[in-house]
């Protein structure tokens, strides 16, 4: 097992960890460890809400989740010799949930587990929040680092595609200022919207490593929230950044300051219910190296990555199409957001004929290794987006040929 550079205590909140991580982005957060190029090491991660979600049959925890505490991130790790303008090579060597009983005996004595949430429209929202405004939750049993199945969703079992939902290097002061400028400008166009258009810096519950006193207070006022993906990567939620992939991250500060978290056992493209992946606490093994001056040399301003030969080998998909015409019949111009939403809604309506609730179908699309594509983006006025549902994840026939059969048992956890 590689050297563990960052350990978590799952019995304690992020503010009380022996070595504090962070939950905002800021260039001044001190590194927790330093490695040489070529190093291989292990990082432990808490799940993204800092342990607020429980393995039970109520969604009250999802309803009441405090979203000022996320994402809890492990790091930053400094890489010796890294300078702004370099590329940081990060090989995702392996990752998974903590082995049974080693880290979570108080939470789940019998098995590894993860969860998928539909967040309330008034507290987080999601891609289809106007259709599914109420909180729901599914608990997944994780079998090895391979299979997932849920007591809350019948007749579905699949091979996951584990990945860090969130990983990237610290921004420079200049880049951070640019994020804050442009996101504030967007928020100002509709500051009272629910859910909000973006999240400005927030001092409440900000954890910034070992920063203290006036340094902490100054940084907390300007540190960026972790929800959006940005030029450094961050919360990209790309399922294919799985074990065996190699990522190239732009470096903006000396030492690069790599951080990560929000481990997912599995996820569909788009992570559509917002907390739509199978969220888990766990470990990730990494190898790092440098490409000196790689940003200018290769014209790279956002991360790029090479995919992995290790991915689930599903071969048959049922594909649902959507076009840029909204639910009221209004025509949009080549709008991929509307088109992907309609594709997802079409898939959900279909799965309801097989006895799933709309919310169960929503969670299946968010968490299973589902492919999402922009199939056409030039044929005015309609974009065509498609969602590819692997038929093999269902333990019965879901083709539109036989009379649809209802599933056996199982309901999502709801709020009381
Ligand atoms: Zn996540």
Structural domains in the chain plus CATH codes = 4-306 (2.60.120.580), 317-414 (no CATH)
pLDDT at 46: 94
CA of 279 to the centre of ligand 1 (A): 5
Report the percentage of the chain scoring pLDDT > 90.
Answer: 88
With a cut of 90, say whether residue 36 has pLDDT above it: yes
CA of 6 to the centre of ligand 1 (A): 19
Report, as an integer, the average pLDDT of 266-288. Answer: 94
Query: 203 burial class (0-12, 13-18, 19+ CB within 10 angstroms)?
Result: middle
Q: Quick check: 219 and 249 in contact, CB under 8 A? A: no
User: What whole-number distance in Å separates Cα of residue 92 and Cα of residue 78?
Assistant: 17
CA of 235 to the centre of ligand 1 (A): 8
pLDDT at 198: 96
Non-local (6+) Cβ contacts of 182 within 8 A are: none
CA of 76 to the centre of ligand 1 (A): 19
CA of 275 to the centre of ligand 1 (A): 6
- pLDDT-derived band at 11, boundaries 50, 70, 90: confident
Query: Between β-strands 317-323 and 384-390, what pairing exists: parallel, antiparallel or unpaired?
Result: antiparallel
CA of 227 to the centre of ligand 1 (A): 10
CA of 222 to the centre of ligand 1 (A): 24
CA of 260 to the centre of ligand 1 (A): 11
pLDDT at 109: 45
pLDDT at 118: 96
Mapped onto helix, strand or coil, the DSSP state of residue 347 is: helix
Report, as an integer, the average pLDDT of 394-405. Answer: 86
pLDDT tens, 98-145? 887 676 555 544 558 999 999 999 998 999 999 999 999 999 999 887
- pLDDT-derived band at 409, boundaries 50, 70, 90: low
CA of 19 to the centre of ligand 1 (A): 22
Report, as an integer, the average pLDDT of 29-54. Answer: 96
CA of 246 to the centre of ligand 1 (A): 20
Report, as an integer, the average pLDDT of 12-25. Answer: 95
Report the percentage of the chain scoring pLDDT > 70.
Answer: 96
Which stretch of 84-93, 104-113, 177-186, 403-412 has the lowest confidence by average pLDDT?
104-113
CA of 401 to the centre of ligand 1 (A): 36
Report, as an integer, the average pLDDT of 275-285. Answer: 94
Non-local (6+) Cβ contacts of 271 within 8 A are: 165, 237, 277, 366
Which residue's entry shows tokens 């990060």? Answer: 90
Report, as an integer, the average pLDDT of 76-101. Answer: 94
pLDDT at 143: 87
User: What whole-number distance in Å separates Cα of residue 224 and Cα of residue 180?
Assistant: 7
Question: 55: which 2 tokens?
Answer: 């393995």
CA of 244 to the centre of ligand 1 (A): 20
Report, as an integer, the average pLDDT of 407-415. Answer: 79
């Amino acid at each position: 097992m590689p050297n563990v550079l960052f350990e978590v205590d799952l019995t304690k909140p992020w503010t009380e960890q022996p070595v504090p991580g962070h939950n905002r982005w800021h260039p001044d957060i001190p590194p927790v460890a330093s490695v040489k190029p070529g190093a291989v090491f292990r990082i432990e991660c808490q799940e993204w809400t800092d342990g607020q979600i429980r393995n039970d049959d109520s969604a009250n925890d999802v309803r009441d989740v405090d979203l000022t505490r996320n994402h809890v991130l492990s790091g930053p790790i400094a890489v010796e010799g890294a300078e702004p303008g370099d590329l940081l090579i990060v090989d995702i060597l392996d990752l998974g949930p903590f082995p049974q009983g080693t880290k979570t005996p108080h939470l789940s004595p019998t098995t590894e587990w993860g969860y998928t949430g539909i967040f309330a429209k008034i507290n987080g929202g999601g891609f289809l929040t106007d259709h599914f405004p109420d909180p729901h939750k599914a608990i997944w049993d994780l079998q090895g680092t391979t299979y997932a199945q849920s007591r809350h969703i019948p007749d579905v079992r699949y091979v996951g595609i584990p990945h860090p939902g969130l990983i990237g290097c610290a921004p420079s002061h200049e880049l951070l200022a640019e994020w804050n400028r442009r996101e504030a400008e967007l928020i100002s166009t509709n500051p009272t919207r629910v859910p909000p258009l973006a999240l400005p810096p927030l001092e409440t519950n900000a954890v910034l490593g070992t920063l203290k006193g006036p340094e902490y207070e100054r940084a907390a006022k300007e540190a960026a929230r972790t929800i959006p993906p940005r030029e450094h990567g961050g919360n990209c939620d790309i399922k294919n950044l799985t074990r065996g992939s190699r990522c190239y991250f732009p470096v903006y500060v000396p030492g690069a300051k790599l951080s990560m978290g929000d481990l997912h056992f599995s996820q569909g493209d788009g992570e559509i219910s917002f907390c739509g992946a199978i969220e888990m606490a766990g470990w990730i093994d990494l190898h790092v190296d440098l490409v000196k001056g790689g940003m200018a040399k290769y014209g790279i301003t956002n991360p790029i990555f090479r995919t992995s030969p290790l991915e689930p080998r599903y071969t048959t998909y049922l594909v649902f199409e959507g076009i840029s015409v909204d639910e009221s019949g209004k025509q949009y111009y080549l709008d991929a957001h509307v088109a992907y939403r309609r594709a997802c809604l079409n898939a959900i309506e279909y799965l309801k004929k097989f006895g799933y609730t709309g919310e169960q179908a929503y969670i299946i699309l968010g968490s299973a290794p589902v492919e999402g594509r922009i199939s056409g983006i030039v044929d005015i006025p309609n974009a065509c987006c498609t969602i590819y549902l692997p038929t093999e994840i269902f333990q019965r026939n879901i083709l539109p040929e036989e009379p649809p059969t209802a599933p056996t048992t199982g309901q999502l956890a709801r709020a009381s």
